[in-house]
Amino acid sequence: MKKVSVIVPMYYEEEVAEECYKRLKKVLEGLSEKYLYEIIFINDGSKDKTLNILENIAQDNKNVKVISFSRNFGHQCAVTAGLKYITGDAIVIIDADLQDPPELIPEMLKLWEDGNEVIYGKRKSRKGESKFKLLTASMFYKTLNALSDVEIPKDTGDFRLVDRKVVEVINSLPEHNKFLRGLFSWVGFKQIPFEYERKERVAGKTKYPLSKMLKLAQDGIFSFSTKPLRIVGTMGIISILISIIILIYSILSYIFNWNDLASGWTSMMVTMTFLGGMILISLWMIGEYVGRIYDETKRRPEYIIEKTININKD
């Protein structure tokens, strides 16, 4: 029999953990004629009752595995950890808050049986999300696709079903700061969108404050594109051309007495501040890449696991 693995990252999700498990269990046991299942919950350093609840669930049900981080490493790291521990043939990544309904898994499995290898959830509508979130999300995907070398489908989050093969490729990538939805698109294989209505959060608040969204956006842009560097280069050349033009103009105006030289003060100031700004922007962008090189060369683990439940060490 084939096996389905479901990965659920959790950060302060005590209000939804139980409900999330129940809904997943119902769906997965409904498939028991054809599939075995496992659910891997990752407690991403929550200090509330999330871990207690998960421990109790895992005690009752040996198909439930729990990975608990020593602190909060972030959503992407939590999913990355889950991907390392799966034993199934088809792998589902889903949020704990039930915004992406688990009831869709059987339909996605059908698409998988038809030979598709990445079935990615595409949101038709997003209920209960603020205008601000919708606007920033749309800006983010536009910028990302304009800059990046790989096409990253719009309105696509991390909710998806992927084949074991694809997960093994992702697991073999040594890079850190993984932007998973980008990588899943980048790896190729047979991809197919799966349209669905994104629901409201069942309970609790979003665990993605602006700071975490910005970090995700940065990972998306800087790890999938070197275009920012090229843009800076182009801007640099243009600003040098402008300064040459200003230089020629001021020499000519000195020779032909077009202007009182003191009036050049304005253009000097404009040029100086403009160039200063350019240099700062360039430094910042180069810094982004240098920071990433630094991070990769450190070879620090992406996460530290405090304990695991129902997982045999190999």
DSSP state of 262: G
Spatial CB neighbours of 263, under 8 Å, sequence gap ≥ 6: none
Q: How many angstroms separate the Cα of 91 from the Cα of each of 84, 106, 134, 172, 287?
A: 11, 12, 28, 16, 36
- Closest approach of ligand UDP to the CB of residue 153, in Å: 16
Which residues sit opposite 192 in a β-bridge? Answer: 119
Q: Pairing between strand 305-309 and 64-69? A: antiparallel
Spatial CB neighbours of 196, under 8 Å, sequence gap ≥ 6: 100, 101, 104, 121, 122, 123, 124
Reading the block at residue 284, the tokens are 């910042």
Residue 219 binding: pick among ligand UDP, Mg ion, none (C-beta 5-8 Å cut-off by kind): none
Check residue 122 for interaction with ligand UDP (CB under 6 A).
no
C-alpha–C-alpha distance, residues 100 and 112, integer Å: 18
- Contact residues for Mg ion, defined by CB under 5 A: 95, 97, 99
C-alpha–C-alpha distance, residues 1 and 9, integer Å: 26
Judged by CB under 6 A, which stretch of 9-17, 180-188, 273-281, 303-311 contacts ligand UDP?
9-17
Reading the block at residue 98, the tokens are 């039930």
- Closest approach of Mg ion to the CB of residue 7, in Å: 15
Look at residues 39, 82, 45 and name the one whose alpha carbon lies nearest to residue 62.
39
- Closest approach of Mg ion to the CB of residue 157, in Å: 8
C-alpha–C-alpha distance, residues 163 and 188, integer Å: 12
**What is the per-residue binding string for ligand UDP in 77-116, x denoting contact by CB under 6 A?**
-x----------------xxx-x-----------------
| Structural contact between residues 71 and 38, judged by C-beta atoms closer than 8 angstroms | no
Check residue 9 for interaction with ligand UDP (CB under 6 A).
yes
Check residue 207 for interaction with ligand UDP (CB under 6 A).
yes
Reading the block at residue 78, the tokens are 């939590």
Residue 13 binding: pick among Mg ion, ligand UDP, none (C-beta 5-8 Å cut-off by kind): ligand UDP
Query: According to CB under 6 A, which one of 85, 208, 249, 289 is a site residue for ligand UDP?
Result: 208
C-alpha dihedral sign at 256, 258, 263, 264: negative
- Closest approach of ligand UDP to the CB of residue 298, in Å: 21
Q: Which single residue is written with the structure tokens 């997960």?
A: 167
Judged by CB under 6 A, which stretch of 146-154, 201-209, 214-222, 266-274 contacts ligand UDP?
201-209
Spatial CB neighbours of 146, under 8 Å, sequence gap ≥ 6: none
| Structural contact between residues 64 and 57, judged by C-beta atoms closer than 8 angstroms | yes
Residue 10 binding: pick among ligand UDP, Mg ion, none (C-beta 5-8 Å cut-off by kind): ligand UDP
Of the pair 97, 163, the CB lying nearest Mg ion is at 97
Q: Which of residues 124-183 bind ligand UDP (CB under 6 A)?
A: none
- Closest approach of Mg ion to the CB of residue 137, in Å: 12
- Closest approach of ligand UDP to the CB of residue 11, in Å: 3
Q: Which of residues 36-55 bind ligand UDP (CB under 6 A)?
A: 44
Residue 72 binding: pick among Mg ion, ligand UDP, none (C-beta 5-8 Å cut-off by kind): ligand UDP
Of the pair 97, 219, the CB lying nearest Mg ion is at 97
DSSP state of 104: G
Residue 181 binding: pick among Mg ion, ligand UDP, none (C-beta 5-8 Å cut-off by kind): none
Amino acid letter, residue 49: K
Of the pair 97, 117, the CB lying nearest ligand UDP is at 97
Q: Which residues bind ligand UDP (CB under 6 A)?
A: 9-11, 13, 44, 72, 74-75, 78, 95-97, 99, 206-208
